Amino acid sequence: MLGEPAKHISERALTVWKIRGIITSGLSLLIYVTISVVIFIFHWPKWIIIPLVLLWIVETYFIIFFNPKLRWKIWRYEVREQEIEIQHGLWIVTKTLVPMIRVQHVDTTQGPLLKKYHLASVKISTAATVHEIPALEDVEAEELRHVISNLARVADEDV
Amino acid sequence: MFEKKRMHPISVILFILKNIKDAVLPIIFMFILGGSGEDASTLDLLFRFGIPSVIIFFTIISGIINWFRFTYWIEDEELRIEHGLFVRKKRYIPFERIQSISVTEGLLQQIFGLAKITVETAGGALDESEAQLIAIKKEEAENIQSYIKKSKKKQSIPTEASGEQMATIAIDTSISDEEPVDIIYQASMKNIFLLAITSGGAIGVITAVIAFFSQFDELIPYEKIYTEAQLFIASSISLFIILSLFIIVFAYLIAIVQTMLKYYDYKVEKTEKNLIISHGLLEKRKITVPFHRIQGIEIIENPLRRLFGYVTFQVINEGGTDMEEPGKVIICPLIKKQEITAIVKSCLPDYQVDVELGTLPDRAKIRYMLRPAYVISIPVIIGGYFLRPFGWLLLVLIPLSMLFGYQSYRGAGWNMSGHQLTLRSRWIQTRTFYTFKNRIQSLEISKNWFQRRKSLGTIYSHVMSGSGRVADLDESVAKAIYQWYSRTDAE
């Protein structure tokens, strides 16, 4: 039986995800504050603020600490000669199999945050779907892109 | 055959008839639009008789001109046609581009001993891909046909000069001798009627009408009028209801007629490389699906049609630009369930439809039953609360939805045999999806937390322009399918 794919993604991904979590948490804090202000202006019952605060704390814990860690633990990939296997997810864990001969093209992308941490993500497109391996070391991502596109080409010739 | 020629004068009448048929709707419309009876104004009369007669007059004139200016002949291994009054249109069709030639006789042609010859080329659009000589002498039609066939055969020899010459000739003759089209399915009028009365189109029209009238409900200030004239409004409400019922029935009839016109003369033909679907009375539609582009097939069982024992058969096409619904092309809109195996076998022999499907494990049952219950429980509770006490009757919907979920559980299934993967899922309609390993672009197993606890998994297979999915398969089955698709051997 096929086990789990062998490789983890870069540990620095964790840092990037945490920073993203902090940004999201900051944005939602802004929304909650706005709601609280509205509550004060219209003299609605003030106790509503308490669940809002609790909600924000729980949310922040999940998006900054719990989710990135679990996601990183689950995220695995493996590039074999004839296929790529990817496992990802949080509550729903998905395992995907993409044969090399089905790969149409490979892209690497790098946003400002990823760039700062020398990371990049690799996007693998088939004729029907797109699969992303996020946050690889950028050297590794580049290498992977070459490997996949070479293997895909070779496999193509076999057909 | 080689000099420029006009068609038989009967083609004038054929041309006029064809154009009047296209103009029939506007003429009827004008007729209705124009007023009637004694108080009809001149404008009304103009609408009623003036415009239609102008239309008819021009049709007749253009029919005659069209005939007069239309010439055809054969030259340099090409069928040449010139037509048009001011702008001369020339169409030269080289024989090697001709895909098929057919000679048919309509009623009028039969009376005068004539025939219609249709030449199809491999072009894209319908208008461009065929040329018609609608009325020429029967012998001449046959001469042209055999001449084109003969010279096509001759052509194939010099192009393949050396080597496997013998084989090439043999293949070529066999192709051109064989009638290239093979009708594999034709919908009977009864089927088309059944299709029309069970079609979504009819239901769509009805819902549109209902939506329209529910808008009225808010527009008309019933309460205000009510205080003013109770009796009057009471009678007009019943009038309103009768009227809306009448309109619903009328809309339904229109939808039926529309569907019947659309699917009139529905047939599927098979050539060496393509499936050709053609249908329609007023507007003739034609869809060509090359076999090598078919990514998978689907059999859809809609609950209403299942009552009559009918299913729909469609293929997933790699996708063209002129498709109605990108990807999916209906082959048989309505077909008896027993006949589906034979039809699929005749048009796509690689697919095996009558495979035995594996079922889902027992422990998946409760998940299937709870899933629709979750979805409707919130609206039911809210509705129940606001419409209480009777609103709580909505709670009946929850066990009903669970029954529905149980049906979905029973309907789901899977099969792997050779290179073929079959996935069946049921929601409102049952959808059985067949595809081949080499058509699947990627395969996925996903498990959420509850599924992991019960060792279940959902499988997705993505093909170009489509996908198949079955939820809550036994983990071992999901793994087996995954392994089947994998190109790396199990260790």
The span from the CA of B347 to the CA of A86, in Å, is 37
Question: From the list A1, A91, A97, which residue is nearest B448 (CB)?
Answer: A91
Interface of A with B in 110-129 (CB under 8 A): 126-129
Contact call for A97 and B490, based on CB within 8 A: no
Of A20, A55, A72, the one marking the end of a domain is A72
Question: From the list A80, A81, A97, which residue is nearest B442 (CB)?
Answer: A97
Could you tell me how many CB contacts below 8 A there are between chain A and chain B?
A: 71
Give the residue, B181 or A76, on which the prediction is more confident: A76
Contact call for B488 and A129, based on CB within 8 A: no
- Any domain includes A48: yes
Domain check: are A48 and A97 in the same one?
no
Domain check: are A91 and A145 in the same one?
yes
pTM of the model: 0.64
- Any domain includes A21: yes
> What pLDDT does residue B423 have?
94
> What pLDDT does residue B214 have?
56
Q: What is the pLDDT of residues B448-476, one digit of tens each?
A: 989 999 999 999 999 887 888 999 999 99
**Residue B206 above 70 pLDDT?**
no
Task: Please name the residues in contact with A138: beta carbons below 8 A apart, sequence gap of 6 or more.
Answer: A108, A110, A114, A115, A118, A119, A120
Domain span holding position A154? 77-158
Q: Coil, strand or helix: which one is A43?
A: coil
- Any domain includes A2: no
Mean pLDDT of B110-117: 83
Which domains does chain B carry?
Answer: 10-165 (no CATH), 287-347 (no CATH), 362-485 (2.30.29)
A87 at the B interface (CB within 8 A)? no
Domain check: are A87 and A126 in the same one?
yes
The span from the CA of B323 to the CA of B416, in Å, is 30
Q: Which of B293, B437, B441, B448 to mutate to test the interface with A (most CBs of A within 10 A)?
A: B441
The span from the CA of B151 to the CA of B464, in Å, is 41
Of A72, A105, A128, the one marking the end of a domain is A72
> What pLDDT does residue B86 have?
73
Instruction: Classify A43 in phi/psi space as left (phi over 0), alpha (psi -120 to 50) or beta.
Output: left
Amino acid code (one letter) for B185: Y
Q: Please, what's the b/e burial string for A91-129 (b: 16 or more CB within 10 A of its CB; e: otherwise)? A: eebbbbbbbbbbbeebeeebeeebeebebbbbebbbbbb
Distances (CA, A) of B241 to A57, B208, B219, B228, B404: 56, 16, 16, 21, 33
Domain check: are A20 and A65 in the same one?
yes
Domain check: are A48 and A120 in the same one?
no
In chain A, what is the greatest distance between 2 CA atoms, to the nearest angstrom? 73
Lowest mean per-residue pLDDT among A146-155, B69-78, B378-387 = A146-155
- Within 8 A of A97 by CB-CB distance, chain B residues are 442-444, 482, 485-486
How many CB atoms within 10 Å of residue B160? 15
Contact call for A83 and B486, based on CB within 8 A: yes
CA-based nearest residue in chain B for residue A79? B488
Can you state the percent helix, strand and coil of chain A, rounding each to 5? 55, 25, 20
What CATH number corresponds to the domain at position A130?
2.30.29.30
Lowest mean per-residue pLDDT among A30-39, B226-235, B277-286 = B226-235
Write out the H or E segment, with its range, that includes residue A119.
Answer: strand A119-126
**Cross-sheet strand order for the sheet of B98-104:** B98-104, B114-121, B130-137
Domain check: are A83 and A45 in the same one?
no
**Residue B112 above 80 pLDDT?**
yes
- Within 8 A of B490 by CB-CB distance, chain A residues are 1-2
Q: Which of A85, A95, A156 to mutate to test the interface with B (most CBs of B within 10 A)?
A: A95
Domain check: are A56 and A81 in the same one?
no
CA distance B276 to chain A (A): 25
Phi, psi torsion values for A70, nearest 5 degrees: -65, -40
Task: Please name the residues in contact with A88: beta carbons below 8 A apart, sequence gap of 6 or more.
Answer: A71, A74, A75, A76, A94, A96
Domain check: are A45 and A95 in the same one?
no
Mean pLDDT of B475-480: 91
> What pLDDT does residue B34 have?
58
Q: What is the pLDDT of residues B155-167, one digit of tens each?
A: 654 443 333 333 3
Lowest mean per-residue pLDDT among A74-78, A152-156, B145-149 = A152-156
Of A48, A72, A96, the one marking the end of a domain is A72
8 A C-beta contact, residue B290 and residue B274: yes
CA-based nearest residue in chain A for residue B460? A96
Amino acid code (one letter) for B83: H
Residue A22 exposure: Cα atoms within 13 Å on the Cβ side: 6
Give the residue, A47 or B85, on which the prediction is more confident: A47
CA-based nearest residue in chain B for residue A98? B442
Cis link prior to B180 (omega < 30° from 0)?
no
Write out the H or E segment, with its range, that includes residue B333.
Answer: strand B328-336
Contact call for B462 and A128, based on CB within 8 A: yes
Mean pLDDT of A23-46: 91
- Return the closest-CA partner of residue B144 out of B116, B178, B182: B116
- Across chain B, mean pLDDT equals 78
B455 at the A interface (CB within 8 A)? no
Contact call for B462 and A126, based on CB within 8 A: yes
8 A C-beta contact, residue B323 and residue B317: yes
Highest mean pLDDT among A58-72, B17-31, B75-89: A58-72
Give the residue, B76 or B489, on which the prediction is more confident: B76
Contact call for B487 and A93, based on CB within 8 A: no
Domain check: are A92 and A135 in the same one?
yes
Contact call for A95 and B485, based on CB within 8 A: no
Contact call for A1 and B464, based on CB within 8 A: no
Question: From the list A82, A92, A98, which residue is nearest B446 (CB)?
Answer: A92
- Any domain includes A3: no
Contact call for B445 and A91, based on CB within 8 A: no
| B231 CB burial (10 A radius; 0-12, 13-18, 19+) | exposed
Q: Which of B435, B441, B442 to mutate to test the interface with A (most CBs of A within 10 A)?
A: B442
The total of structural domains in chain A comes to: 2
- Within 8 A of A89 by CB-CB distance, chain B residues are 446
B36 at the A interface (CB within 8 A)? no
Q: What is the DSSP letter of B396?
A: G
| B436 CB burial (10 A radius; 0-12, 13-18, 19+) | middle
Tokens of B485: 């698709």
Domain check: are A136 and A81 in the same one?
yes
Q: What is the pLDDT of residues B302-360, one digit of tens each?
A: 888 888 889 999 988 875 444 444 578 888 888 888 888 988 888 888 999 889 999 99
How many CB atoms within 10 Å of residue A134? 21
> What pLDDT does residue B178 have?
40
Percentage of residues in chain B having pLDDT higher than 70: 78
- Any domain includes A125: yes
B449 at the A interface (CB within 8 A)? yes
Q: What is the CA radius of gyration of chain B?
A: 30
| pLDDT band at residue B212 using 50, 70 and 90 as cut-offs | low
Contact call for A2 and B483, based on CB within 8 A: yes
A93 at the B interface (CB within 8 A)? yes
**Residue A36 above 60 pLDDT?**
yes
Write out the H or E segment, with its range, that includes residue B129.
Answer: helix B126-129
Question: From the list A93, A96, A98, which residue is nearest B447 (CB)?
Answer: A93
Domain check: are A21 and A43 in the same one?
yes
A149 at the B interface (CB within 8 A)? no
Domain check: are A23 and A57 in the same one?
yes
